Structure 1
Amino acid sequence: MTPEALRTRPFHQVDVFSDRPYLGNPLAVVVDAEGLSSQTMQHFANWTNLSETTFLLPPTDPRADYKVRIFTGSEEFPFAGHPTLGSAHAWLEAGGAPKQDGVVVQECGAGLVRIKHDGGRLAFAAPPLTRSGSVDEATLAQLSAGLRLPEAALLDASWLVNGPQWIGVLLESAEQVLAVDPDLAAMGDLKVGIVGPHSPDADVDFEIRTFIPGDAMVEDPVTGSFNAGVAQWLIGSGRAPRKYVAAQGTVLGRAGRIHVEADGEDIWVGGDSVTCIQGAVLL
């Protein structure tokens, strides 16, 4: 990219899954990314040093309101949860007008994603899992070593792939989730999320943590894609009610809240978002 190609573009930095700034998961959003190459997007995403950066473009599918490309510091994702909510928040804040009342339709690498928009909290329809089912014995042993827990403490472990290659692990309690001190070297390249129920008198139903070995973040503050997969797993197996709230980021000093609700065949994953930085970026 030559200096002559640079121009200012609207830019938002959004905190997702929190209604208070700096307690959720931050997302960088380039609101107008027309003309940017994939190489430039990847370079900028690496520079932001956030878990994800998104780039908004005109849709290529006439049913969509906008198209998004989602990058980590090292790769592009076909879908991710907190980038979906944060991108929709930034698009609406920048004046985007949905074609359908109450619904934003996002085009991404995984296809079209519906986002409920009723003037309040945004929620996306969980995309179908492209891989599910129990992990094999070798993977279970690796999970046990990576989480520093005996295999008997892993009540269940399942693939929950909806873009990212997540594995979900069910533990006995939220306290056990919070106490995990992972051995990331033993975990290898597995992307792992752990979940455990809170006591009935708590103000949230489940505690979530996710680990991404090799990623600069290591532990993600709040993870929409994992929560979308784990919601289908927990509700589908009867381990969770059709409506619940999960907490994530507690160990990191965050207060992420993920609002899940099953409605017919859809499972909606929602959260509040707040813009922390707004201006222009030179790209």
Structure 2
Amino acid sequence: MTAVRLVDVFSERAFRGNALAVLHDADGMSDDEMLAVARWTNLSETTFLTAPTDPRADYGVRIWTIGGELPFAGHPTLGSAHAWLEAGGVPRTEGVVVQECAAGLVEVRRGADRLAFAAPPLVRSGAVEGEELARVVAALGVAPADVVDAAWVDNGPGWLAVLLASPEAVLAAAPDPVLARGLKVGLAARYPAGARTDGVGLEVRAFFSDERDFGEDPVTGSLNAGLGQWLVPAGYAPEHYVAAQGTVLGREGRVHVDVEDGVVWVGGATHTLVDGVRPSRRRSDRAQPV
């Protein structure tokens, strides 16, 4: 029997973050089986823990959506590290877990009340201009006058980010699913100093689409990692801040972003809400659960 965990990531309150399904001991599973499980869970991501191939890593992980495999994703990184530790995993270095995924090695550190991952390098950065930016603005139902800046912040999933003039403009965005087809876009805006009493300094939303679907992600670690790598050096955000995400969806995502010695750390709460097992596969001509 193999352990299965459902982990809530990036919220202090249960069922208010982003859900992740984690399957342990998945070395023997094929790509088709992993995809079938990801489509069955129908979550934004499902992860499969494996033995690492790099001797520096503590465990390996494969990250799947209903459309295919991702080289890296944020909330699956924290949720997988949480599940691995909860299952008795002991890291090679105390206080630090090293995850091996398709994008390479990702360091996850253990704090007193949350895990945080070191943002991987961007595979695409730079300004977004001209027709491309105009298309994004129109697709997301954003007023051009509210756009402050835009940049590629892609660390694997393909994120493009737009900085707006106010949190109200972020929350009011009304994407057109047809015009937004094929886009993966994040919106962000800073709150004025003292505007929030809960420590939140940034409002974020993330929209994704593929050939099958369009939707809004509740809380997105990879996007927030890219935002930190762009907004802080550009002077749009301080070195330490908390981003709220999922507000429009009724979630309470809280993403802690800290820049230390040039490294962007992205952290948040993780909680196991369901802990169970999956049955062993049996030989049969009929389909069996995996």
Q: TM-score, normalised by structure 2?
A: 0.93
The equivalent residue for 2:250 is 253
For 1:150 and 1:122, the matched residues in 2 are separated by 37
Matched, 1:277 2:281: no
Superimposed CA distance per residue, residues 222-257 of structure 1 (whole angstroms, 9 cap, x where no aligned partner) = 000000000110001011110000000010000000
Check the 8 A contact 2:181/2:214 in 1, yes or no.
Answer: no
Give the 3-state SS of the residue equivalent to 1:59 in structure 2: coil
Pairwise CA distance, 1:130? 0.8
Mark the runs of 5 or more structure 2 residues left unpaired by the alignment.
Answer: 280-289
Deviation at 1:268, TM superposition (A): 0.3
Does residue 41 of the first structure (1) align with residue 34 of the second (2)? yes
8 Å CA contact 1:15, 1:274 repeated in 2: yes
Cα 1:145–1:259 shift into 2, 3 Å: same
CA distance in 1, matches of 2:14, 2:85: 18
Aligned to 1:213: 209
Aligned to 1:24: 17
DSSP 3-state at the match of 1:184: coil
Q: Does 1:265 align with 2:262?
A: yes
Whole-angstrom CA distance in 2 between matches of 1:237 and 1:164: 22
| Runs of 4+ off more than 6 Å | none
Q: Distance in 2 between matches of 1:118 and 1:21?
A: 20
Which segment is superposed worse, 22-31 or 186-195?
A: 186-195
Report which of the two has the higher share of helix. Answer: 1
Deviations 1:134-168 (A, max 9, x none): 11311111112112223232111111110011000
**Is residue 6–residue 21 contact of structure 2 (8 Å, CA) maintained in 1?**
yes
User: Which letter does structure 2 place at the counterpart of 1:208?
Assistant: V
Counterpart mapping for 1:62-211 below 5 A:
62-201=55-194, 202=196, 203=198, 204-211=200-207
- Counterpart amino acid of 2:44? S
Would you say how many aligned residue pairs link Structure 1 and Structure 2? 276
Q: What amino acid is the match of 2:85?
A: L
Q: Calculate percent identity across the aligned residue pairs.
A: 55
Q: Does 1:224 align with 2:217?
A: no
Question: Which residue number in structure 2 is paired with residue 3 of structure 1?
Answer: none
> Partner of 2:54: helix, strand, or coil?
coil
State the TM-score, normalizing by the size of structure 1. 0.95
* Cα distance in 2, alignment partners of residues 106 and 200 from structure 1: 36
Q: Unpaired runs of 5+ in structure 1?
A: 1-7
Could you tell me whether the CA contact under 8 Å between 1:114 and 1:124 is conserved in 2? yes
Whole-angstrom CA distance in 2 between matches of 1:113 and 1:267: 12
Distance 2:253 2:111 in 1: 21
Mean CA deviation greater in 118-127 or 161-170: 118-127
Amino acid at match of 1:131: R
CA-based RMSD? 1.2
Question: Partners of 1:94 and 1:164 in 2: how far apart?
Answer: 28
